[in-house]
Amino acid sequence: MSIGPMVISTHPEKQKMSKTEFLVAHAEFSTGIILTVDLATHTRVGEIFKRFSTREAAVNYMLQLVSNRPDIECLLRTSEGRYLLQVDREGIKKR
């Protein structure tokens, strides 16, 4: 049984995380405005990262979200803060 993504604070470095976990951030495609995990505009309140135990689960989530919401883009980063890729309506882009 798979457990869904975990919501973590806007400061993941303050959370205890495994080096094998991945974080997904969301933004508006047209403006780049950062969104919360609820896909609302981030106003310095609310969580902005979803945590996944595998890269595959994170990428699948990103692809499905963007397929359903082409106005959203997603960014994948490691638990150490390195951005790996971006998914938007134009496809997957390595960073």
Cα–Cα dist 67/45, whole Å: 27
Four-CA torsion 59, 62, 63, 64, nearest 10 degrees: 120
Grade residue 7 by pLDDT with cuts at 50, 70 and 90: very low
Cα–Cα dist 74/80, whole Å: 18
pLDDT the model gives residue 11:
53
Residues above pLDDT 70, as percent of the chain: 82
pLDDT in tens, 28-72: 999 999 999 999 999 888 889 999 999 999 999 999 999 999 999
Judge whether residue 10 has pLDDT over 60.
no
